[in-house]
Each structure stands twice: as C-alpha cells, then as structure tokens.
Structure 1
Amino acid sequence: MKIKVILPVLLLLAVAFQSCVSNKKYAALQSDYNKSIDTNRNLKQSWQVTQQELAVSNNQVKSLQDQIAQAQNNSLALQDALNKCLAGNNQGNVNISKLVDEINASNKYIQHLVNLKNTSDSLNMVLTTNLTRSLTPDEVQGVDVKVLKGVVYISLADNMLYKSGSYAISDKAGATLAKIAKIINDYSSYDVLIEGNTDNVPISQTNIRNNWDLSTLRASSVVQALQNNYGVDPKRLTAGGRGEYNPIADNSTDAGKSQNRRTQIIITPKLDQFMALIGKTPETTTPPAADQK
C-alpha cells in the first residue's frame, strides 16, 4: 500500500518541477524580448535625430552650391558677351578690357565661395576631432558633436538622460555623462552652458508648473551630476532652460517632438582659445593635461 501511495506523489512532484523550469525559461525570454524592444526604440529615435541634423547640413551645402552655380552662370554669360564682342568686332578695346576684368572677378568670386565651403568643412572637422580626442571610437558614436561659428554643441535626447516625464537623472545616464565630462574636463578653461529643451506638450506634474520649469530643472540636474559625480568645476557651468521655444523640428509629429526633447551642452571658447583649438594637432594617444594646452 505504501508503494502505491508514494508513486502518484512522485509523479505529481515531477510534473510540478517541469512546469517551474518552463516558467523560468519563459520569463527569461520575455525579459530579453523587452530589452530588444527598448534597444530598437532608442536606435530609432537616434536615427531620427541624425536624419534631422543631416537635413540641416545638406541645406547649408546646397546654399553654397547654389551660389557657386549662380556665379558660374554669370561667368558663362560674360564669356558669351565677350565672344560676341570679338566676333562682331563692334566694340572698342576699352569695352573688351572691361569684360575681361569682369570675367576674372567672377572667377575669383567662384573660387572664393569654393574656398569658404572647404574651409568651413575643414574647421568643423578639426574642431570636432580635437574636442573628442579624449574619447574612444565607441564612445564617439554615442555623442553628437557639432561646431557652428566657433561654438561647440553636444546634443542629447531626453531618453538618454532622464526618467520619463521627470527631471531626475536615470540610472543609465551615467555612461553618457561620463563621456560629456571627459570632453569638458579636457578643456578645463572653457565655459559650459547646459540648455534644456522640451516639446510643446504641457507638463502635468503637480510640482512642475510648465515646460519652462521642466527644461530648467533638467539642465540643473545635469549640471549637478557633472559637478558631484565627475568633478567638473561648478564655476564653469551654467544651467538654463528654453522650454518649448527653441524647436529644431515640427511639433505636430511624434518624431518632431522626440527631436525637440533634448539637452544641449554648449561649450564656448573665447577667441584666443578658439584659434588655439583650430591650430591644435589631433592626438592619437593620451591627451595632454589641461594646464598644458
């Protein structure tokens, strides 16, 4: 009788154990799936921001190209007028000389525009390379650095830094802020403005009045994290918020709102520092100490 009772009990225990193992595997697979969804969402948002910035750069290039094309058309028109003048032999030497001077001036202007474009591209590349030389190639991929008219802009999406709908720094923001701190500490004499930006959706938190508050509080959170966790001198830091009033994309779409919810780290070297930065040869090894620059 004891054997008959024990056997069913053992069978029930075996079935229960197998079910437990399957549930654990399912939970692990579900967790991996959720992580994949989060990763895909972050990559999509980064791609959208990159597309917007690429469109801005393309517009700048197109504007210079249009000027070059217009100048080239003017040169062709002047050359045609000169050819007609020579063929008809109806104009005097004075008019011919004037046309030649105008053609030469037009050609110089074309070359000037080409040089401006090349110089602008080269300076931006040199400055970006010098500013990010303390980062590894993998770290550079996660930080968007732009140089416009001597001012350095480092732009970060809100989901890289903050908890959703909050100004509290998220747990995953540490790696990103460490990269920013490397750049800031590498140029220890430059002033740094942390600027918060939002979309145009009103905030509904009881302790935050509006998007002005949210953008400023977020900037202040970044400033304090850089000071307290990464040793950035607080005398160099300024926290500011621009609310919803400095958009870079259309707030009527989700993609546009995502691009507008961002924090910019703006590094502003003085004129002499800017010129020194242009002349600095990019390092391929460990960067020099700040007091040697």
Structure 2
Amino acid sequence: MKKIFLMLLAGGLLVSCASKKDLEAALAKQKETKELLDTATVKLNACLADERASNARIEGFKEQITTLKNSNNALLSNQGDLVTLSTQGSRNLERSLESMREKDLQIRSLNDAITKKDSVTLALVTSLKSSLGNLQDEDISVNVEKGVVYISISDKLLFSSGSDKINENAKMVLGKVAKVVNDKPEIELMVEGHTDNQPISSTKFTDNWALSTARATAVTRVLQEDFNVAPKRMTAAGRSFYIPVATNDTPEGRAKNRRTRIIVLPKLDQFFDMVEKGMEEAKANAKKETEMKKN
C-alpha cells in the first residue's frame, strides 16, 4: 500500500512540472505572437499608405485624360483654323504631360516620406520592447495604432492610490523609456493621465480631472529632471475617466483604466518639411524633363 501511495505522489509531481513547463511555453509563444502582430501592424500601415498613393495617382491620370479629351474636342470642332488649333493642342498636350509627370513624382515623394516615417516607427517599437522586455505585460505594454506608438503603464506600477507621487521603483521604468527617447531626438511625447470613474475628493484633488493631470505632469517632471528629456519635446494632459479601455463595472476593469499613457509622436513639422521639399523637387524635375524632351 505504501509503495502504491509513493508511486501516485511521484506521478502527480511529474504532471505538475509538465503543466508548469507547458504554461511557460505558452506564455513565451503568446509574447512572440504579440511582437509579430505589432510588426505586422506597422507593415500594414505602410501597405495602406502605398494604396492611398496609388489611388491618388489614378485620380491624377483621370484628370489628365479629361484634359486631353477636352483638347481633342476643341481641335475637332474648330477645323477652320487648323494650324492655330494644332499649335494650341500641342501646347495643351505638353502641359498635360508635364503635369502628369509632376504629379507622379510628387506622389512618389510623398510615399517615400511615409515609408521613412513607418521605418522610424518600427525601429522605435523594437528599441522600446528591447529596453522594457523584462516587465510584466499587465504592468506595461507597447502598441502601434495607425502608425503611432503607445506606451501604457499601469498606475499600480507608478503611483499609490489617490496620489501623484511616483514610486521610486517606477523611476527605473521611466528611465528605460527616457533612454530610448533621448536616442531619437526626432520624436516628441504626449503624456496622458487616465483614471477610473470612481469619485475622488481630497484636500489636494477635487476630482479625477485634477488627479489625472497631476499624474501626467509628475511623469513629465521625472523624465525632465531625472533623465534629461528636453521639456520642449513633452506635453502633459489629463484625460480623467472619459477614455476607458475596459468596463468600470468591475475592479479588474477599473484597474486597467487607471493608467498613464505615453504617446510617441514624430515631429510633424519635420515630416511636412520633408514632404514639401519632395514636392518642390518633383516639380523642378518635371519641368527639367519637359525641356529636355523639347530639345
């Protein structure tokens, strides 16, 4: 009887160990799948940008076809002055072709700018995940939505309940974010504070608006004072409880809604400068090609 009991106990321990290994393997597979999903999201955004550029080119071609048809109709309806109309039609055709070349080059320039932006986004996500890789998913996550990088940090990691004072242990996390940010001066940050819908009223905070704004400001202050992130690159915003990511009807949902979100943005003025420069170069190149064809 004693031998049978010992055999059953050993078998149970083996099953327990096997289950734990299966769970660890499943968690590792889940993390790998999530990283692949984020990478696929960035690539999807690039494909969508290509589609938009192609549609714009098609519309441009349609406009040129209409112009050419109008020129042709004008030639046919005025045969009495054939020489004059032929000359005018030739000029219209040249202008139409020049315009088509210009639009084509401009669309290519815009597509190149978008592709460059998406490449920067993918590199940023890779750097952040590498830096923050040892943290639990429920405490911090890095996601890409519509080409924008979001870092979401749970309040249990950053703050005590009802407080805007950042925990000392949380500064390690913000330091890792700051290192990536400081290595990429072409990006800016918006720090958003979010709460659940439970009312708060204290001597320091009159409501959730005040609490969420104070927490966002506290994060930007630590990034500036402790990790030398330039303040002109940051914006602090309180969002109260009006943008939940889960239901506020359960404790688990409210815990997910209490968070600080860091939105990583490219400097839009630099992006648009790059687009504008590409457009000007496209226009100049189109005119140059037209002159070369005339000669």
Q: What TM-score, normalized by structure 2, do the two folds share?
A: 0.53
Change (3 A) 1:35 1:127: closer
Indicate yes or no: 2:236 matched with 1:239. Answer: yes
In structure 2, what is the equivalent of residue 67 of structure 1? 59
Counterpart mapping for 1:120-199 below 5 A: 120-125=110-115, 139=127, 155-157=148-150, 161-163=152-154, 166=155, 168=157, 178=176, 181-187=179-185, 192-194=188-190, 196=192
Provide the rounded CA distance (Å) in 1 between the counterparts of 2:214 and 2:90.
63
Provide the rounded CA distance (Å) in 2 between the counterparts of 1:11 and 1:144.
53
In structure 2, what is the equivalent of residue 18 of structure 1? 11
RMSD: 5.3
Structure 1 residue 269, shift from structure 2 partner:
7.3
The count of corresponding residues between Structure 1 and Structure 2 is 233
In structure 1, what is the equivalent of residue 25 of structure 2? 32
Aligned partners of 1:196 and 1:242 also within 8 Å: yes
Provide the rounded CA distance (Å) in 2 between the counterparts of 1:229 and 1:182.
15
2:62 alignment partner AA: Q
Match of 2:89 among 85, 92, 99: 99
Counterpart mapping for 1:70-89 below 5 A: 70-78=62-70, 80-81=72-73, 84=76, 89=79
Structure 1 residue 236, shift from structure 2 partner:
3.6
Change (3 A) 1:59 1:181: farther
Structure 1 residue 113, shift from structure 2 partner:
0.7
In structure 1, what is the equivalent of residue 108 of structure 2? 118
Provide the rounded CA distance (Å) in 2 between the counterparts of 1:59 and 1:26.
47
Provide the rounded CA distance (Å) in 2 between the counterparts of 1:46 and 1:205.
36
The DSSP-based 3-state class of the residue aligned with 1:91 is helix
Aligned partners of 2:72 and 2:89 also within 8 Å: no
Provide the rounded CA distance (Å) in 2 between the counterparts of 1:154 and 1:229.
29
Change (3 A) 1:11 1:245: closer
Change (3 A) 1:243 1:125: farther
Provide the rounded CA distance (Å) in 1 between the counterparts of 2:118 and 2:173.
20
Deviates more, 1:39-48 or 1:15-24: 39-48
Structure 1 residue 108, shift from structure 2 partner:
1.4
Provide the rounded CA distance (Å) in 1 between the counterparts of 2:90 and 2:102.
18
Change (3 A) 1:15 1:132: closer
Structure 1 residue 114, shift from structure 2 partner:
0.9
Q: What TM-score, normalized by structure 1, do the two folds share?
A: 0.53
Give identity over the alignment, percent: 14
In structure 2, what is the equivalent of residue 265 of structure 1? 264
Structure 1 residue 73, shift from structure 2 partner:
0.9
Aligned partners of 1:215 and 1:241 also within 8 Å: yes
Aligned partners of 2:187 and 2:267 also within 8 Å: yes
Aligned partners of 1:168 and 1:218 also within 8 Å: no
Provide the rounded CA distance (Å) in 2 between the counterparts of 1:77 and 1:167.
67
For 1:140-178, what per-residue CA distance to the aligned partner results, in whole angstroms no more than 9, with x for missing partners?
Answer: 9988999xxxxxx97224xx5323xx5856999x89984
